[in-house]
A and B are shown apart, each in its own frame.
Chain A
Amino acid sequence: MGQVIQSIDYAAIAPALIVAVTAIVVLLADAFDVPRRFIGLLSGGALAVALLSVVLLAFGDRRATFCLPGELRGNGPRSCSYVADDFTLLFQGVVLAGAVIVVLLSLREIAEAEMPAGEYHFLLLSAIVGALSLVAARDLVLLVVALETLSLPVFALVALKRYSGTGSEAALKLFLVSVVSAALMLFGISLVYGATGAMHLDRIALALDDLPGEYDPVVGVGIVLVLVGFGFKVAAVPFHFWAPDVYQGAPLPVAAFLSVVSKAAGFAGLAIVLALGFPAYAHVWGPVVALLAALTMTLGNLMALRQGTAIRLLAWSSVAQSGYMLAPLAVGTDRLPEAVAATTAYVALYAVMNLGAFAVVIGFRARMHQSHAEYGGPEWDSLDDYRGLARRSPAIGAALAFFLICLAGLPPGVMGLFAKVVVFRAVVAGDVTWLAVVMAINTVIGLYYYLVWAVRLFAAPEGRPYLIAAGPGSFPVRAAIAATAAGAVVLSVAPQLVLQTVSSVS
């Protein structure tokens, strides 16, 4: 049966579709002067509905759409561009859950920084559409398009605080780095396409299996260049240097989005490309990834040691965390499914703890902002400003301390510990013991700065006073903190929830 016009499986693309439609509705609603509150509600609600659709899809079978029509397929595999399998759905779930939290965090920030609500939500939702399609993409064209859909709105989001110089600078930096890396990635893709004549990952994998040796250098270079594109997205060294400035200049919820949602999507894309497309060239990308991982975690941790402000510390620490997530992929074809599972588990657990830390920082910064308006003083929330937070608001302080200990990976933050154990296990299983030793040393460095920060929370407060009252409009942020903290506690008591899901997926 020849099909000239493709039939589209709308159920499979439902999550992305819901978000995309809402994005346009939001933009229109803004044009008709719908109040800010409703817009926020609309975009949060749409994300929740999309999350629900992901959950429903997870109960069903694997779905795939945008497949090659039968007559073009030849003897090759099915070659679908968009696949909603368990792996995709898991990452879509992480992306959407993270996005809901980001929207919660944004509500107050939009009002206070006088950012245009409609545009903000439109851009955010568009970026999320990109992330959702990226994790479902199974051919290089869709991957690139999705990656760009994820990146482009973010430049604008970073610069949305129109009166802030640091915001514009950050956006420009992000833009330049992003464009360069996208260009490199496209060049890499063209090389791979030239050698294999295929764009679908399953076809590329087959073609690479029996490629004449003379193409080896071409494909090798192509693969490394594709790696570069993703390396930028996940802020791996040496494509990381945009991260601290952008995190600092951007509205904080956008920074949270970059460090969790967009990073999760980036890692999913990386895992897809490496595991489905280039397994035959694992000897090329395995060592490269190992080196990147080692550099990323070491540099990220060393730089994080020297930071004085909370946001830059989080920026560098999330660079370092990227290194841990990257590490399992260094094993190459040796036990690749296990490695992908480890990366996935780490990304999922990291999303909870890092969003939690960001949520507290955002709430705290809003209060600092208020007190700044009343008492004056420097703007940046230095780590010293966190002194005594646990005494003034015990619940928030305890939550932040818990997130930090989770990130450091020590009990009682059992979820962080298990995330590390899983990653270590995958790395050791793949016979990259040296990388495991590097990681072991890095966890110590990481512990130090997380601990120093956590200890400050409990120290006697000193210096400037600030408003104790949480102020109006802090409810969404509190809800976000409560949700992430609850998630962190549940996963610390029962880390097997994530571990089981992930291993059944990969």
Chain B
Amino acid sequence: MVGTPLAGALLLLLPAGRFLPGDVAVRRYGVAVSGVTLLVAAVALAAFDFGSPTRMQFGVNEEWALSVGLRFHLGVDGISLPLVVLTALLTFLCFLYTIKHPPAGGSTRLLTALLLVLEVGLLGTFVALDLVLFFVFFEVVLIPMYVVIALWGGAGRRAAAYKFILYTLLGSGLLLVGMLLVAVNAGTLDMTELATRQGAGLTHGIQVTAFLLMGLGFAVKAPMWPLHTWLPDAHTEAPTVGSVLLAGVLLKMGTYGFVRIAVPGAPEGAEFWAPWLGLLAVIGIVYGALACLAQRDLKRMIAYSSVGHMGFVLLGIATLTPVGLNAALFGNIAHGLITGLLFFLAGAVKERYGTGDLDALGGGMLAKAPTLASILTFASVASLGLPGLAGFWGEMLALLGAYKPHGDLPRETFMTFMAIGGLGAVLTAAYFLRMLAKITHGPPSEVVAARSVAGISVYEYAAWTPLIVLTLLVGLWPKALLEVTTAPVRALLGGG
């Protein structure tokens, strides 16, 4: 599965003259490679034994560098499967979208290769079961994303790209120290092994330090308030496909890392830091919502909304209960689908109107471009957590988890978090409705009125429809997703 995009990217190293001359061919090639990857992911989904989602399936476990105890260990379980499928799907949709809407900047060839390498890193992170291997894949993502932002981004792209890579590298440096602290003291690099041990053999002090270091690393990626400041810049400046992958999948690496490595690897550390994590998560929710209210740029607003949504995900993790972690994983997927869609839409709006500024856009999108406006409304409503759509369950379950946190955690504190989180949810609704009121309703501004707005192309439909359908599906039938994740989450938390 990881091999497909890697081979695809390597093939692109061949001289342009001899292999796939012309941009169109390269774009089609990108679609084909990512399509095959998606197919592999779909086959994995079909062949996955849902009877035992706790077990690692389709595993590879080869010796790699025996001397340092390094193994090439990959596998999929109920926690990673949804994320793997989401990654494959979003990458494929990005390529599909690029066919007709290539971002201006560098050569398409390079972009295709970079996106494929990005996919390698993302998929690898979700299937790696060896700490060092996980870290390698975790880092693979950085350079391609950096180049994508730096070459195809908006006006302030260079600064944004540096900010992105330096911030996240700092995070991953600390993460490495934390992971090694656990690994060295536990004597294994195997993630499944670490999860079954539940921190046995690690002293309280080591666990507290290790969780802090790993937590910082993942929190930068997630991003958690106050370590989020790279995110709005990176998202705003990145081209549409970059933002979609950044918001849709990259951020999930952080929360996935929490669930997969930090919490089971150092449970006592997790208990120690959980209230703080919860506090920062709640601040993130409210801060994200307030920041959104103050934004004038569409993309920037969606970026800040990510901070808020990831706050819910982190709050779910902080409860350390099966309900909470489930909520986190559910929120991950829901956010990936909805925010992916939102960024696609923001890109479409920017492409048509030439600006993402809310004031400049004026209103009247419903009259001017009815389909676009309705899809935007749908995505916003889904994002603010309307029951029946995907966004609702993640937030609801996170708050529910906070109502009844893990036995050893202070319940009153988490009740407070829950109340504030609920307030944040209301604020979320407020800013999305404000945005909709501003641009979809009312009369169009003069500038905009003069422009002719193109209809929605087939490729755009192709890229958006799966996301819309899945948002509905996951929202109406959350059980399907929850059933896959529940058992492995219980296992990770050390219960039966």
Q: Which A residues contact B (CB, under 8 angstroms)?
A: 341, 405, 410-412, 414, 417, 420-422, 424-425, 428-429, 433, 436-437, 439-441, 443-444, 447-448, 451, 455, 495-496, 499-500, 502-504
- Whether A444 lies near B65 (C-beta < 8 A) is no
- Whether B136 lies near A414 (C-beta < 8 A) is yes
Given contacts A417-B139, A448-B162, A496-B64, contact A433 B209 (CB under 8 A): yes
A-B complex: 3 closest residue pairs judged by Cβ atoms? A440-B173, A503-B67, A496-B65
Given contacts A411-B140, A424-B180, contact A443 B65 (CB under 8 A): no
- Whether A443 lies near B169 (C-beta < 8 A) is yes
- Whether A410 lies near B143 (C-beta < 8 A) is yes
Residues of B within 8 A of A422 (CB): 68
- Whether B136 lies near A441 (C-beta < 8 A) is no
Residues of A within 8 A of B67 (CB): 341, 496, 499-500, 502-504
Q: Which B residues contact A (CB, under 8 angstroms)?
A: 64-68, 70, 117, 121, 132, 135-136, 139-140, 142-143, 146, 150, 162, 165-166, 169-170, 173-174, 176-177, 180-181, 183-184, 209, 213
**A283 to B70, alpha carbons, bound, how many Å?**
31
10 residue pairs from A and B, CB less than 8 Å apart: A341-B67, A417-B136, A417-B139, A420-B176, A429-B184, A433-B209, A436-B180, A440-B174, A444-B166, A448-B162
Q: Which single member of A411, A502, A504 contacts B139 (CB below 8 Å)?
A: A411
Residues of B within 8 A of A504 (CB): 67
**A341 to B69, alpha carbons, bound, how many Å?**
14
Residues of A within 8 A of B132 (CB): 421
**A424 to B189, alpha carbons, bound, how many Å?**
14
Main secondary structure of the interface of B (DSSP, over half): helix
**A443 to B177, alpha carbons, bound, how many Å?**
12
**Chain A residue nearest in CB terms to B132:** A421
Residues of B within 8 A of A439 (CB): 173, 177
Supplied contacts A422-B68, A451-B162, 15 more A-B pairs, CB within 8 Å = A410-B169, A411-B136, A411-B143, A412-B143, A421-B135, A421-B180, A424-B177, A425-B183, A428-B177, A439-B177, A441-B170, A451-B146, A451-B165, A499-B68, A499-B70
Given contacts A421-B135, A500-B66, contact A436 B177 (CB under 8 A): yes
Residues of B within 8 A of A411 (CB): 121, 136, 139-140, 142-143
Q: Which single member of A410, A441, A455, A496 contacts B142 (CB below 8 Å)?
A: A410
Distance in Å: Cβ of A329 to nearest Cβ of chain B: 17
**A286 to B266, alpha carbons, bound, how many Å?**
29
Residues of A within 8 A of B209 (CB): 433
Given contacts A411-B139, A411-B140, contact A444 B68 (CB under 8 A): no
Given contacts A428-B181, A495-B65, A499-B67, contact A440 B176 (CB under 8 A): yes
Residues of A within 8 A of B146 (CB): 451
Q: Which single member of B68, B70, B139, B170 contacts A410 (CB below 8 Å)?
A: B139
Residues of A within 8 A of B162 (CB): 448, 451
- Whether A425 lies near B173 (C-beta < 8 A) is no
**A502 to B67, alpha carbons, bound, how many Å?**
9
Residues of A within 8 A of B121 (CB): 411
- Whether B180 lies near A444 (C-beta < 8 A) is no
**A411 to B177, alpha carbons, bound, how many Å?**
18
